[in-house]
Structure formats: structure tokens, C-alpha cells
Amino acid sequence: MALATSKVAGLRIDNAAGVLTDISRYVNNVTLDSPHGQLDATGLGDTQVRMVSGLSGPVSVQMNLFSNSTTRAIFSPLVDATSVSKTIEIKLDTGAYLTGEFVPTNVNFGQGVNALQAISATFSNSTAVNFTSVAA
């Protein structure tokens, strides 16, 4: 089995016009977190703790990227509290995509001396997240 590398990965997010825009070349890190709840189902007389799967928590996507005119236009409007959702498509590997509607929970612009301006953003899903073999 071949290992997945960043050479085949990618990220697209919708711009102000609602068009999915490939910002892969500006992204240096994407993390997907999908928590799953556990419920204690231990009953009287049980000799060990019994756990069962509960509800899945919201899927969150954390991304770090470089700031430029393309990424600023997408992320600047998200700095103020907003309920605007963004379509995000993460290409995990050849023929492996995660797509969904996400709302921003945190957006940060930063810069330092002798460094590229950076943007970091965290999103949580507002609808179901789909794993597909076809790009959106």
C-alpha cells in the first residue's frame, strides 16, 4: 500500500462569489479532528466498566496558511463574528476527498519580523461531512 504524502493533498474553500478556490499552495498544515463520545453502560453486577459509542462530536478543521491577496479575501470577512458557512474540500489522497459546510470558530492573522504573514483558522461542520472519491 502506498503512503499518502502532501504531494497529492489539497484544499479548496469557497470565495466571496461562492466558487471553490484552490488555496493548496498557500496552506502548510491542515488538521481534521472528529471526536466520538463514549457512554458508560455499566450496570449493577457488572465486574468491569462497559462503554458504548455515543454521538459523534462536530468535525473541526484547523488550517495554517500564508497570507496573500487570495487568502486575505477569503478569510478577512470571517474575523468578525459571523454565521456564514464555507464549503471546504480537503483532498486527502488521490480519489479521497472530505467535503462539507463549515462555520468559522476562530480566525487569526499574524506576522513577525522576517516572517511571512500567516493566517490560522478553525472551522466546525454545520452539516454532514462527506468522504467521497470525487471532487466537489
For the chain, what are the domain ranges?
10-33+52-132
Cα three-residue angle 121-125-128, rounded to 5 degrees = 150
pLDDT of residue 3: 60
How far, in Å, CA of 82 to CA of 104, rounded?
8
Higher pLDDT, 116 or 21: 21
Residue 1 pLDDT grade (very low, low, confident, very high; cuts 50, 70, 90): low
pLDDT of residue 47: 92
Q: What value does the mean pLDDT take over residues 66-90?
A: 87
Architecture of domain 10-33+52-132: Roll (2.30)
- Whole-model pTM? 0.78
Higher pLDDT, 111 or 8: 111
pLDDT of residue 135: 76
